[in-house]
Amino acid sequence: MSAQFAGYARPDGRVGVRNHLLVVPTVICSSIVAERVAAAVPAVGAALPHLAGCGQLGPDMRLTHETLAAYCAHPNVGAVIVIALGCEQVVAQMLADSARRAGKPVEIVAIQSEGGTVRSTARATEIARRMAADLERTARVPCELSSLILSVKCGGSDYTSGLAANPALGRVADRLVDLGGTAVLGEVAEIMGAEHLLAARATSPETGAKLIQIISRVEAEARALGLDIRGTQPSPGNIRGGLTTIEEKSLGATHKGGEHTPLSDVVPYAGRITRRGLTVMDTPGLDVESVTGMVGGGAQVVVFTTGLGTPTGNPIAPVIKITGNARTAVSMADNLDLDVSGILDDRESLDAAADRLFAEVIEVCSGKPTAAERLGHDEFAIHRRNPTI
């Protein structure tokens, strides 16, 4: 099997699997302009509409800044337009500087300076068309799989997730890491009850202790709200799918991180992923916020397992959907890329399913569109740490 894919070499040494023109609103007030500008260049345009950027304080404001800046520097992005309002808290120049440091062309358009929505949309669209023409001339080149960061995610889980889809994905994560690549696992609340298994694979006592620390913090935050999430039932959909406790769900979910890959790092939400092996990111379990954070950390591609079916995508990273549930493979066929339900009735071995998934990852990284991309699913949500003030 090939150890290369066709990607985009970036000036900062990273490698992209897509070549988007990213149109970034600094604040919710400029989101509509960003969406219209991205729509004007549909072949490459990607917008990041969000609800943040103003009325935030302290850690919450920093997290918004850091997440948007991380997307501006992401290797799946070839050029950036920042759409500012002019009176918000997010600093447009900081986002532009992040893109420039990564070697990307970048422009800022400010709505209040341009004279309103119509003028700013026209100005930014003119810039976008010029940038898009340059991006469309960029050729893919052979790239090593060691340059990939794979986000592993599950959502709408059922009993088939822990028994089939997640173990198949875990084997893909192991193979990628064996080739020098990286995998990132989020959803801290869905590690709870299985954290000792990951901590035992840590490359240092400090890394293992950091994992236990963030698990304890999340549990304490829930208790402060009067909730005990350890030992309780998971979501209604999970219950309907045959899962009984968060521990049971976690034991299935952690399979995504592989069987033998060492835990090399634990990073904050949207924090830069720099170490080979398995990284755990401090994300919530909420699908969109979790994927947003892991892509912000540098993941170029996401494999998302689902038992019940979910349409979630991302604006700049392809999201590959797989299921181990034969009924879901039929009922949610439009939203799925791979059916591995044969693992459960001995129509396919776990290794054979992992081979197919590994091949699918390479094809998608080389340009094959995913179901989420074809359907226009580009959900994006930054994790909020504090209430809006």
Longest pairwise C-alpha distance within the chain: 64
Q: What is the mean pLDDT of the chain?
A: 93
Question: Over the stretch 363-382, which tens digit does the pLDDT of each residue have?
Answer: 999 999 999 999 999 999 99
The arrangement of strands across the sheet holding 319-323 comes to 263-267, 277-281, 182-185, 149-154, 301-305, 319-323, 338-339
Out of 1.10.287, 3.30.70, 3.40.50, 1.10.10, which CATH number does the structure's domain 20-136 have?
3.40.50
> Distance between CA 15 and CA 12 in Å, rounded?
9
- pLDDT grade, residue 94 (50/70/90)? very high
Question: Over the stretch 218-228, which tens digit does the pLDDT of each residue have?
Answer: 888 888 888 77
Looking at residue 197, what is its pLDDT? 87
> Distance between CA 367 and CA 166 in Å, rounded?
24
Beta bridge partners of 182: 149, 277
> Distance between CA 208 and CA 187 in Å, rounded?
16
Question: Over the stretch 295-314, which tens digit does the pLDDT of each residue have?
Answer: 999 999 999 999 999 999 99
Q: For a pLDDT cut of 90, what percent of the chain falls above it?
A: 82
Angle at 306 between CA 245 and CA 175, to 5 degrees: 100
Question: Over the stretch 69-88, which tens digit does the pLDDT of each residue have?
Answer: 999 999 999 999 999 999 99
The model carries a pTM of: 0.94
How many other CB atoms are found less than 10 A from the CB of residue 242? 15
